[in-house]
Structure 1
Amino acid sequence: MDFSSEGAGGSGKVDTGMIMEQVKVQIAVANAQELLQRMTHKCFNKCIGKPGSSLDNSEQKCIAMCMDRYMDAWNTVSKTYNSRLQRERARM
């Protein structure tokens, strides 16, 4: 990451707001990749008994339902966690 300010008018100051946004985006991407990796691993292990060249109908249904349940659970946990964070911030 380049912390020079060549693109910021040459003033020599670091745009910390821009850097923070870039870091937030990188964290969000890393979290999404980890979520996808975990979901794929868990659903593959649960639904695929004998890997082959294609998925049969029951494996396809199992994977679709597993991924739906995983995402529903993830969304529930995320909403609950965010609500708790907001309550904690309000108390401060």
Structure 2
Amino acid sequence: MESAFGSGGGGGGKLDPGLIMEQVKVQIAVANAQELLQRMTDKCFRKCIGKPGGALDNSEQKCIAMCMDRYMDAWNKVFRAYNSRLQRERANM
């Protein structure tokens, strides 16, 4: 089994910086997705659930669905604007 540190079969395995960087990028993406989901859940729960109970009523379900849709739309707009700005700044370097 190969890892970022070599083949694992013998001594002197070389580090693969490209593989390590890809693994770090994946870990960062997972952490960002988890944070987004946690923030969205917290915000929409506070907004939509007045009295927690055993089940959500119809209005709570609709509120949560709309809240999550709006939150994702806003997040996507911010993400696109951020990426555009990064690309412009990189082009000016």
**Fold agreement, TM-score > 0.5:** yes
* Number of aligned residue pairs: 91
Q: How far off its partner does 1:11 sit?
A: 5.5
Sort the Cα spacing of 1:9 and 1:81 in 2 relative to 1 into closer, same or farther, 3 A: farther
Counterpart amino acid of 2:48? C
- Separation in 2, partners of 1:70, 1:59: 16
Asked whether 1:23 is paired with 2:27, we answer no
Q: How far off its partner does 1:10 sit?
A: 6.3
Specify the SS of the correspondent of 1:6.
coil
- Separation in 2, partners of 1:43, 1:77: 18
Partner of 2:90: 89
- Separation in 1, partners of 2:62, 2:34: 23
Q: CA RMSD of the aligned region, Å? A: 1.9
Q: What is the correspondence of 1:1-92 to structure 2 with a 5 Å cutoff?
A: 4-7=5-8, 12-92=13-93
Counterpart amino acid of 1:88? E
- Separation in 1, partners of 2:11, 2:84: 42
Assess if the C-alpha contact under 8 Å between 2:4 and 2:15 holds in 1: yes
Identity %: 79
Structure 1 runs not aligned, ≥5 long: none
Sort the Cα spacing of 1:21 and 1:8 in 2 relative to 1 into closer, same or farther, 3 A: farther
1:9-38 deviations in Å (ceiling 9; x for gaps): 866210010000000000000000000000
Give the TM-score, by structure 1 length: 0.91
Structure 2 runs not aligned, ≥5 long: none
